[in-house]
């Protein structure tokens, strides 16, 4: 298991220790691991990148696609597997 060290203010350390105790965690490390895991597991964890913004803008002005949803999915799978 990897180790990461953090520098915190005394106030932050005190608050983390209190939250760890109140949340029934063994220690601050368990609390922080749980926070990180929850963040990584969030479904809405995505980032708006310039490429994504361009793709969304193109999609907005592109009109309707004559293909069925199944055809669109099949085409996407072909592109990603190539």
Q: Which of 51, 47, 79 is nearest to 59 (CA)?
A: 51
Same domain for 32 and 14: yes
| Rounded alpha-carbon distances, angstroms, from residue 67 to 37, 56, 73 | 39, 19, 10
Same domain for 54 and 37: no
Convert the pLDDT of each residue in 38-66 to its tens digit: 888 876 667 788 988 888 888 888 778 88
3 domain residue, yes or no: no
pTM above 0.75, yes or no: no
4 domain residue, yes or no: no
Domain count, the chain: 2
Give the orientation angle of helix 10-22 with respect to helix 28-41, to 10 degrees.
Answer: 80
Q: Domain limits at 59? A: 50-81
56 domain residue, yes or no: yes
| Rounded alpha-carbon distances, angstroms, from residue 6 to 1, 32, 54, 56, 62 | 16, 11, 37, 38, 47
pLDDT for 44: 66
């Amino acid at each position: 298991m990897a180790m990461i060290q953090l520098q915190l203010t005394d106030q932050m350390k005190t608050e983390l220790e209190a939250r760890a105790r109140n949340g029934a965690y063994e220690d601050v490390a368990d609390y922080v691991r749980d926070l990180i895991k929850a963040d990584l597991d969030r479904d809405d964890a995505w980032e708006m990148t310039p490429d994504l913004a361009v793709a969304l803008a193109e999609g907005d002005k592109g009109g309707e696609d004559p293909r069925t949803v199944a055809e669109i999915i099949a085409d996407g799978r072909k592109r990603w597997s190539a």
